[in-house]
Amino acid sequence: MRILVVSDIHANLEALQSVVEKAGPVDATWCLGDITGYGPNPNECIDLVRNLPNVECIRGNHDVAVLGDIDATLFNQEAKLSVQWQRNNLRPESKKFLNDLPDRIETAHVLLVHGSPRNPIWEYLLEPYLARVNFDHFSQPFCFVGHTHQPLICIWDNEKEVMEWGAPLIEQVVAMNKRMILNPGSVGQPRDYDARASYAIFDDVKMTWEVCRVEYDVAAVQKKILEANLPIRHAQRLSSGW
Classified as helix, coil or strand, 222 is helix
Q: Are the C-beta atoms of 174 and 214 separated by less than 8 Å?
A: no
How high is the pLDDT of residue 80? 87
How high is the pLDDT of residue 9? 98
How high is the pLDDT of residue 219? 98
| DSSP code at position 202 | E
64: CATH: 3.60.21.10
CA distance 30 to 52: 9
Domain of 55 in residue numbering reads as 2-239
Along the 242 residues of the chain, how does pLDDT read in single tens digits?
Answer: 999 999 999 999 999 999 999 999 999 999 999 999 999 999 999 999 999 999 999 999 999 999 998 877 778 889 889 999 999 999 999 999 999 999 999 999 999 999 999 999 999 999 999 999 999 999 999 999 999 999 999 999 988 889 999 999 999 999 999 999 999 999 999 999 999 999 999 999 999 999 999 999 999 999 999 999 999 999 999 999 99
Q: Which residues contact 122 (CB under 8 A, 6 or more apart)?
A: 61, 70, 115
How high is the pLDDT of residue 163? 94
- Spatial strand order of the sheet with 104-106 comes to 104-106, 110-113, 142-144, 179-183, 152-157, 162-166
How high is the pLDDT of residue 75? 84
Name the pTM for this structure.
0.97
User: Which stretch of DSSP H or E encloses residue 89?
Assistant: helix 77-89
How high is the pLDDT of residue 35? 98
Say how many domains are in the chain.
1
Classified as helix, coil or strand, 189 is coil
